[in-house]
Amino acid sequence: MKISVIGTGYVGLVTAVGLADLGHQVVGTDKIKDKIDRISLGDVPIYEPGLDALLKKNLKKGNLTFSQNMDDTIQAAEVIFVCVGTPQKEDGSADMSQIEEVSRMIAKNLNSYKVVVEKSTVPVKTSMWIKRIISLYRKTDVDFDVASNPEFLREGSAVSDFLNPDRIIIGVESDRARDLLVEIYGSFKDRILITNIDTAELIKHASNSFLAMKISYINMISDLCEKTEADVELVAEGMGLDKRIGRQFLRAGLGYGGSCFPKDIKALARIGEELGVTMSLLKEADKINAARVETFIKKLKKCLWILKDKTIAMLGLSFKPETDDIREAPSIKIIAKLLEEGAFLRLYDPKASENMKSVFPESENRLIYVDNPYQAVGNANALLFITEWDEFKNLDWETIKKNMANPIIIDGRNIFLPEDVRKRGFEYYSIGRR
């Protein structure tokens, strides 16, 4: 079966490489020439563990190619996965202009039956629009189907998520499209759920919003723990032992970031409102998330009182570990706030510093990026842990303490056991526990 994948961003690239690895003949395409040139040479433009090796392997095998010629790529395909961006607009809704553009291109190149599969996260009812646009712009009466196959990849573990998925959701309205998609995912037959298209579209938004709500819920409880003698880690453990709840996504901290949760929860709230459904539960979860950074800064101020001209070390800039992605990362808001207060910042991240430099360029005077945690803490009045990278778990505490002006740690991700850090002579504050 000939498959093309339109868009070689995070989702598109993993999808193209993953489908090729399942044994399909795949062509990836993108309108950005530079990206296609790099990827064709086996150079992955993002940091995603395992992706580099899998890309090289499948390029070599010859069943994966990349082309900038979108017309040819569409014409040659039987199944087209649409993986272009749906960024957030100011009102919280998703900007669907790239999906519309691709739909028109598919219409123009509709030379034989094709299944157009939405892979990007889209509002429920998008397929209806894709169908309408293709029907309006096609020049022949060649038949086509639209389907929804939402993506559930997590950044940092996208390759293993693709190769070992919990579930494959296939939303279709014809047997022909269903059979083709079931064939594509034949190796995961036991994990396929077939629904209608609206249901498949909604499963993605509803799942992400639910997980985001779960995080905001435990963060709300962590605030309550801080006003009592309760410990949020044990509350989460106790809750998680109930199989109906589960321990995952009950990690209290600085809240959710990334390219999905913040965007999807707002988009779903917006969709509900447009359809006349009250979505206040989602809005509240989003509000709790937005307040996490303020609560964290308050903790810092409680230690240092005035932040002006204090030196603050920050470890971890990406929105979560194992990625260089800084989209909607809490670190961005924290850096902005600390600069506004007049602090000096020393920042370190294993992978995300380059990306952060495009948001906050280095300034000799106020903000510098360093090469390791020990340089970051040089003369620092406080050390903030923002992302729980593994390499922070085995630091040489003696050196850290020696390098700091004041041995104060505020851990935004509950990486350490309080007693372990305190016994080394640090003042230690974390989230929802003493």
| Contacting residues toward ligand UDX, per CB under 6 A | 151-155, 208, 211, 215, 249-251, 253, 255-258, 260-261, 319-320
Give the 3-state secondary structure of residue 428.
strand
CB 200 to ligand UDX: min, Å: 14
Least distance to ligand UDX, CB of residue 204, Å: 7
Nearer to ligand UDX, 37 or 95 (CB): 95
How many CB atoms are closer than 10 A to CB 59?
18
Distance CA 6, CA 323 (A): 23
Closer of 23 and 240 to ligand UDX (Cβ): 240
What is the spatial distance between Cα 264 and Cα 339, in angstroms, rounded to a whole number? 29
Closest CA to 58 of 13, 117, 116: 13
Q: How far is the CB of 246 from ligand UDX (least distance, A)?
A: 11
Burial of 370 (0-12, 13-18, 19+ CB in 10 A): middle
For ligand UDX, give the closer residue by CB, 35 or 263: 263
Q: In this structure, are residues 429 and 299 in contact, taking their beta carbons and an 8 Å threshold?
A: yes
Residues 6 or more apart in contact with residue 278 via CB below 8 angstroms: 272
| CB of residue 260 to ligand UDX, shortest distance in Å | 3
**Minimal distance, residue 357 CB to ligand UDX, in Å:** 21
User: Any idea which residue has 């992706």 for tokens?
Assistant: 51
Instruction: Select 55 or 236, whichever has its Cβ closest to ligand UDX.
Output: 236
Q: How many residues in total does the chain contain? A: 434
**SS3 (DSSP) at 368:** strand
- The H or E element that residue 26 is part of is strand 25-29
Which residues are registered as beta bridge partners of 25?
2
Sequence-distant (6+) residues with CB within 8 A of 324 are: 46, 47, 318, 351, 352, 354, 355
Cβ closer to ligand UDX: 161 or 273? 161
Q: Is 260 in the active site?
A: yes
Q: Are 13 and 28 in contact (CB under 8 A)?
A: yes
Give the side-chain half-sphere CA count within 13 A for 239.
Answer: 17
Nearer to ligand UDX, 240 or 378 (CB): 240
Q: By the 8 A CB rule, do 372 and 348 touch?
A: yes
Please state the closest distance from residue 156 (CB atom) to ligand UDX, in A.
6
* Among 195, 236, 201, CA closest to 123: 201
Beta carbon nearer to ligand UDX, 247 or 422: 247
Q: Which one of 83, 225, 260, 303 is the catalytic residue? A: 260
Least separation in angstroms between CB 20 and ligand UDX = 20
- Rounded to the nearest angstrom, the gap between the alpha carbon of residue 82 and the centroid of all alpha carbons in its chain is 18
- By annotation, the residues acting in catalysis are 260
